[in-house]
Structures are given as C-alpha cells and as structure tokens.
C-alpha cells in the first residue's frame, strides 16, 4: 500500500503566516481559496479583469493582476485552465516569483510535458484534491475533506514536501487522506482515466448501447433510461462499495449477464487498444496533439463538440430531463 498522510503528519508552520496567491478563480480556484482562508491562511487572488474577478471580490478576497499577486506570494498555486497556463506563466508569473517561492499546481500536465520549465531556485509541487471544485468547498464547509494528492517535482529549499502537505491540509485534504505521487504518475493516470474509462470510454459505451436499441426499433426514451440514466445508479453503488456492492444490489439475472457478456463488450482487442492509448500518453503523442489543437484555435475540437451535441441521445435526454424536475434541484 502507498503511504497516506493525515492532519497529524502535517507541520502547519510551512503555510501559516505565508501568503498564498491563487491564480484563477474557477472550479478549483474558488474552492481552494475559500478553504485556505477558513484554515487561517493569508490568500490573495491573481486574475485578469472579468467574471471571475468580480466573483472573487464579491466573496471578499483581495484581487490583483497575476503579476501583482505573484510578487506578494510565498506560494503560487496555478489554477488556470491547463491550455492557458504556459502563456500566462511566461508573460506574468516567471519573472515575478520571489526567490525561494513555491510554484504549485493541481494537475501535472504543463510541468510533466515541459510546457512550463520553472527556474531552479523555486520549489515545484503538486497539491491536488481528487474531486471537482464545488465538492472540495462543500465537503470542507461540512467539516470533512476530499482525498488529495501531493508530489514534488523540484525541491530547491529542502522543504517542498512539507509545504505540499501543509497546503493539502489547508484545503482540507489531510482530513480525508493524502497520497504521495509524482508529476508523471498523476498526469499519465489522469489522462488515461479520463480517456479510456471515465469520459471517452463511458460516453462511447453509452452511445453504442443507445444506438443499438434505437436502430433495432426500440423507443429512444427507453434506450435513454437503460443506457444513460441508470448508469448513475450503478456507478453510485460501485462508489459506495466497489463492484461487489453493485453486484449485491442488482438482480441475479443482471449479475449473470454481467459475468457472461461483459468480456464480449470490452474484448481483448479493447484492452490492447487501451495499452496503445496509454503508450501515446506516455510518449507525448496525446499532449502534442492537444497543444497543437489549441494552437489551431481548436478547429477539430469545436467541430466535434457540435457533432456530439446533435446526437439523438442528447435530444431525447433534454426532453426527459425536463420532465424529471428533481434532477437539477
Ligand atoms: P476553470 O476553467 O474552472 O477556471 C479557470 C480560471 O482561470 C477562471 O477563473 C478564469 O477566469 C481564469 N483565467 C483563464 N484565463 C486567464 C488568464 N489569461 N489570466 C488570468 N486568469 C485566467 O479551471 P479549473 O478550476 O477546472 O482548473 C484549474 C486547474 O485545476 C487545472 O490545472 C485543472 O487540471 C486542475 N483540476 C481541476 C479539477 C476540476 O474539478 N475542475 C480537478 C482537479 C484538478 P475568467 O473568468 O477571467 O475566465
Ligand atoms: Mg483530467
Ligand atoms: Mg435494467
């Protein structure tokens, strides 16, 4: 088992009395900033003028331009979209970093794939909640925390790991448990998970099931319920108690179908393809494609977004969800 860190393992002096600049005030930014403030840490926000700036001020923070926030900070936590981090870093952050400051991230992409190469005299850490931002905040406010990750890419001061742990404590993660990883492992497993299982794998599985039923003449509403809506109920059971709890809760007929048919859907060929997907993450092929896609102003990405929104499952889904008013409450 990997080692887990909890509140008792943290030396809070590595963050108390320090100034943390949270760069970006979106999903992660607002949550980490508010949790740190409630943990007694001095927080400033770095942004450009716009919607987030107004929100951060309404939430009672001192907001500065990115360069001004960076100049004051002992710890600079970069919570900008991954695609814009390198541009903002080289324009506004790098030259304003205090000597001996800590540069921190919640995802390793830019450092691991060399889009951001920090100077040798700063600590470079990862401190990331394993959770979407709104939950990071809600769970903390309820007195708990979401699990998190820390990693050290560069230890200029000799304190990088302690600083990462203290930061993770400030956002509530050591209440739940924090795991030590590396930038490489965090980046590659995150990309693989979202591509093969959580996002790419799950959405294609849902669409393939839906299309098969609809093409065979079944009502799209029935296909939507079976292949998309019910997925949440199954995943909730897995989340609570693993595959065993899910299989305990479903009927024996469903369990028999699970065992006898699952491998015909996720075949040896699918597993072989997953290995290929992983190797294209490891060798930088995926990162290069995504960076180039952004440099072309997302021509293919935007087209794919439109095509996907036109799929029948989205039409019928919008109609059905409109009738299930409890869903978006
Ligand atoms: P969001 O897209 O939610 O927020 C981005 C923020 O950056 C916004 O406040 C935006 O402000 C600001 N911003 C964008 N461009 C600039 C710019 N040029 N200058 C200044 N500010 C700018 O990002 P996320 O919170 O989703 O992601 C942040 C990081 O956290 C990423 O590294 C991501 O991988 C990581 N992460 C995210 C998770 C999540 O749940 N979303 C989970 C774990 C990690 P504006 O209103 O002006 O656009
Ligand atoms: Mg990701
Ligand atoms: Mg059923």
Domain final position from 134, 154, 181: 181
Ligand nearest to the CA of 253: 3
How many angstroms is it from 28 CA to the middle of ligand 1? Answer: 7
How many angstroms is it from 98 CA to the middle of ligand 1? Answer: 23
Q: Which residues surround ligand 2, an ion (CB under 5 A)?
A: 190, 194
| Same-domain status, 14 and 154 | yes
Q: pTM for the complete prediction?
A: 0.95
Residue 126 falls inside a structural domain: yes
- ipTM surpasses 0.85: yes
Annotated binding site for substrate: 251
Q: Could you give the angle at the alpha carbon of 206 between the alpha carbons of 205 and 207, nearest 5°?
A: 95
Q: What is the largest CA-CA distance in the chain?
A: 67
Question: Do residues 21 and 76 make contact, with C-beta atoms less than 8 angstroms apart?
Answer: yes
| Same-domain status, 33 and 64 | yes
| Same-domain status, 279 and 257 | yes
Catalytic annotation, residues:
107
How many angstroms is it from 191 CA to the middle of ligand 2? Answer: 6
Question: Do residues 125 and 150 make contact, with C-beta atoms less than 8 angstroms apart?
Answer: yes
**What is the domain range of residue 37?**
4-181
The response to whether residue 27 sits with its C-beta less than 6 Å from ligand 1 reads: yes
Q: Return the residue whose CA atom lies nearest to atom 14 of ligand 1.
A: 80
Domain final position from 181, 203, 236: 181
Residue 295 falls inside a structural domain: yes
Q: How many C-beta atoms surround the C-beta of residue 89 within 10 A? A: 23
Residue 328 falls inside a structural domain: no
| Same-domain status, 271 and 146 | no
pLDDT tens-place values along the chain, 329 residues long:
788 999 999 999 999 999 999 999 999 999 999 999 999 999 999 999 999 999 999 999 999 999 999 999 999 999 999 999 999 999 999 999 999 999 999 999 999 999 999 999 999 999 999 999 999 999 999 999 999 999 999 999 999 999 999 999 999 999 999 999 999 999 999 999 999 999 999 999 999 999 999 999 999 999 999 999 999 999 999 999 999 999 999 999 999 999 999 999 999 999 999 999 999 999 999 999 999 999 999 999 999 999 999 999 999 999 999 998 888 76
| Same-domain status, 161 and 32 | yes
| Same-domain status, 119 and 244 | no
Domain count of the chain? 2
The response to whether residue 65 sits with its C-beta less than 6 Å from ligand 1 reads: no
């Amino acid at each position: 088992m990997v080692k887990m860190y909890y509140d008792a393992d943290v030396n809070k002096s590595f963050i108390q009395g320090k100034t943390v600049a949270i760069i970006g005030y979106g999903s992660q930014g607002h949550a980490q900033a508010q949790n740190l403030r409630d943990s007694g840490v001095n927080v400033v926000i770095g942004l450009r003028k716009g919607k987030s700036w107004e929100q951060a001020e309404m939430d009672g923070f001192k907001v500065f331009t990115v360069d001004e926030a960076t100049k004051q900070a002992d710890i600079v936590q970069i919570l900008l979209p991954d695609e814009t981090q390198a541009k903002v870093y080289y324009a506004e952050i790098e030259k304003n970093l205090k000597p001996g400051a800590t540069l921190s991230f919640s995802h390793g992409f830019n450092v691991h794939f060399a889009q951001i190469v920090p100077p040798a005299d700063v600590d470079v850490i990862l401190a990331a909640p394993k959770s979407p931002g709104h939950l990071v905040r809600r769970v903390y406010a309820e007195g708990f925390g979401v699990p998190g990750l820390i990693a050290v890419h560069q230890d200029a001061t000799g304190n990088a790991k302690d600083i990462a742990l203290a930061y993770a404590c400030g956002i509530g993660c050591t209440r739940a448990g924090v795991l030590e990883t590396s930038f490489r492992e965090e980046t590659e497993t995150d990309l693989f998970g979202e591509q093969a299982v959580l996002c790419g794998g799950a959405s294609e599985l849902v669409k393939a099931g839906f299309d098969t039923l609809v093409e065979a003449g079944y009502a799209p509403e029935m296909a939507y319920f079976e292949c998309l809506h019910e997925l949440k109920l199954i995943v909730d059971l897995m989340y609570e108690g693993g595959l065993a709890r899910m299989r305990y809760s479903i009927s024996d007929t469903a369990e028999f179908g699970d065992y006898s048919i699952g491998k015909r859907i996720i075949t040896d060929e699918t597993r072989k393809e997953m290995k290929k997907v992983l190797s294209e993450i490891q060798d930088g092929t995926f990162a290069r494609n995504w960076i180039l896609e952004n440099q072309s102003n997302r021509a293919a990405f935007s087209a794919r977004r439109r095509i996907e929104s036109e799929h029948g499952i989205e039409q019928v889904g919008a109609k059905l969800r409109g009738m299930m008013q409890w869903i978006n409450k």
